[in-house]
Each structure stands twice: as C-alpha cells, then as structure tokens.
Homo-oligomer: A and B are copies of this chain.
C-alpha cells in the first residue's frame, strides 16, 4: 500500500472518530512512524487533505450504493440503512460526510461542493427508491422527494444521537420507523 493511501486511511478514521479539526499532522506522522514534514510532502495543506478525503469517500460510498441490486423498493431501502449503519461502527464513528457536515470550521468551497454533492446524490438515489416503492407498493405512499429528505435527515441524526450516547442501538431504534410509515 502506498504512503498516500495509508495516510488517507488513517486520516479518514481519525476524522470519523474524533473530527477533522481534532487531529493533526503530528497524529498522522505518529501513526505512520514518520515526521510531520513528510506528511506535508503528500498533502501540502490540511485543506488539501480535507478535499482528498471527502472526494474519495463520496466516490467510494456512491459505488457501494450502485451495487445495491434488490428488485423491490423496501429491500433497497433496507440495504441503504444497513450501509449507513455500517459506517457507524460500534457507535464510535460517523459517516465522513456527517462528520464533515458537523464540522464548524468553514471548509473551502471545494470541500463544500463535495458535501453538497454527497447529499444531492444520496437524495436522488433515495427519491428513486421511494418512487419505486409507490409502484411496487412495498413502501408507504408519500412524495418521493420529501421522503428522501426525511430519510437522509433521520439517518444522519440517528448517527449523531447514537455517537453521543455511545450506543449504536440508538441508531437502530430511530431508523426502525422509516419502513413502518
């Protein structure tokens, strides 16, 4: 594995467990047993690291969404929730997009665009699922676009609540209502 990829792996996990502002180049250097200056060789600034992180994460997440091939809408939605649940780990980490969305330090425009893109892609995917659910009658009848917003907000909020409580089952409890209508 090349150094750059290993740095991204460690940085992603630190951002998801502690928050992007709560880890430093020194943390990354320690993790890879190198010096801070060497980390700067791979990512000249922390803003550049942020952009590389969120871009890679978005591409990876959307690739996994594209692999969901269940024919019925309710099963597709279950797979989506399971994917979000997986990013929560044991309640000690967040989806990187949620972690970045929580972050208050104003990222630059490029990072903001990636966060927005992540949300837009997710909303489009979910709206398609809810529209299918009307047709195959496996999901409650509702405005697909509105249901998509509610579903994404619920999943993100459930992650925050679960992480604050340190108990992953809070996520399951909150998201269980999505399929019940």
Whether the Cβ atoms of B177 and A105 lie closer than 8 Å is no
Rounded to whole Å, the gap between the CB of A12 and the closest CB of chain B is 14
Tell me which residues across on chain B come within 8 A of A99, comparing CB atoms. 104
Tell me which residues across on chain B come within 8 A of A101, comparing CB atoms. 160-161, 163-164
Q: With A and B bound together, what is the CA distance between A24 and B145 in angstroms?
A: 41
Mostly, the A contact residues are: helix
Query: Which residues of A8-57 have CB atoms within 8 Å of chain B's CB atoms?
Result: 17-19, 21-22
Tell me which residues across on chain B come within 8 A of A22, comparing CB atoms. 21, 104-105
Query: Which residues of A154-178 have CB atoms within 8 Å of chain B's CB atoms?
Result: 154-161, 163-165, 170, 173-178
Tell me which residues across on chain B come within 8 A of A180, comparing CB atoms. 142, 146
Whether the Cβ atoms of B105 and A102 lie closer than 8 Å is no
Tell me which residues across on chain B come within 8 A of A103, comparing CB atoms. 19
Q: How many residues of chain A have a CB within 8 Å of chain B?
A: 44
Interface centre among A98, A159, A170, A174 (most CB of B within 10 A): A174
Query: Which residues of A88-113 have CB atoms within 8 Å of chain B's CB atoms?
Result: 98-105
Q: A22-B105, A181-B181 are in contact. Are A152 and B146 (CB under 8 A)?
A: no
Q: Does A147 contact B (CB under 8 A)?
A: yes
Tell me which residues across on chain B come within 8 A of A116, comparing CB atoms. 164-165
Tell me which residues across on chain B come within 8 A of A170, comparing CB atoms. 149
Q: A21-B21, A155-B157 are in contact. Are A176 and B146 (CB under 8 A)?
A: yes
Chain A residues proximal to chain B, CB less than 8 Å: 17-19, 21-22, 98-105, 115-116, 119, 140, 142, 146-147, 149-150, 152-161, 163-165, 170, 173-178, 180-181
